[in-house]
Amino acid sequence: MPRVERGIASLERKSHPMQISFMTWVCPDWDLNQILAAAIRYGYDSVEPRSQCDQKHGIELAATKKRRKEIKSQFADCGVGMSCIATSCTYSLANPEERAKSVATTKRFVDLAAEVGCPNIRVFGGPTPEGADFEEVKEYVAEALRECAIHAFGTGVSVCFETHDSYCKSADALQIVTMADAPQAAICWDIMHPFTHGDTIQEAFDNLKDYIRHCHAHDGTPPPEGQGGGWSLALMGEGQIPHDEAMCLLATTGFKGAISGEWIGWLPAEEVLPHDGRVLREYRKAAEGG
pLDDT value at position 10? 43
Cα–Cα distance for residue pair 127/200, rounded to 1 Å = 22
R_g over Cα of the chain:
18
pLDDT value at position 5? 46
Asked if 214 contacts 259 with a C-beta cutoff of 8 angstroms, the reply is: no
User: Domains (ranges, CATH) in the chain?
Assistant: 3-287 (3.20.20.150)
List the pLDDT tens digit at each of the 290 positions of the chain. 333 344 344 434 455 789 999 999 999 999 999 999 999 999 999 999 999 999 999 999 999 999 999 999 999 999 999 999 999 999 999 999 999 999 999 999 999 999 999 999 999 999 999 999 999 999 999 999 999 999 999 999 999 999 999 999 999 999 999 999 999 999 999 999 999 999 999 999 999 999 999 999 999 999 988 777 789 999 999 999 999 999 999 999 999 999 999 999 999 999 999 999 999 999 999 999 86
Go through the chain and tell me how many residues it has. 290
Cβ atoms within 10 Å of 286's Cβ, excluding its own: 13
Cα–Cα distance for residue pair 149/141, rounded to 1 Å = 12
Predicted structure pTM score: 0.94
Asked if 172 contacts 193 with a C-beta cutoff of 8 angstroms, the reply is: no
pLDDT value at position 225? 81
User: According to the 3-state scheme, what is the secondary structure of the chain?
Assistant: CCHHHHHHHHHHHHHCCCEEEEEHHHCCCCCHHHHHHHHHHCCCCEEECECCCCCCCCCCCCCCHHHHHHHHHHHHHHCCEECCEEEEEECCCCCHHHHHHHHHHHHHHHHHHHHHCCCEEEEECCCCCCCCCHHHHHHHHHHHHHHHHHHHCCCCCEEEEECCHHHCCHHHHHHHHHHHCCCCEEEEEECHHHHHCCCCHHHHHHHHCCCEEEEEECEEECCCCCCCCCCEEECCCCCCCCHHHHHHHHHHCCCCCEEEECCCCCCCHHHHHHHHHHHHHHHHHHHCCC
Beta bridge partners of 20: 259
| Angle (nearest 5°) at CA 128 between 123 and 130 | 145
pLDDT value at position 9? 43
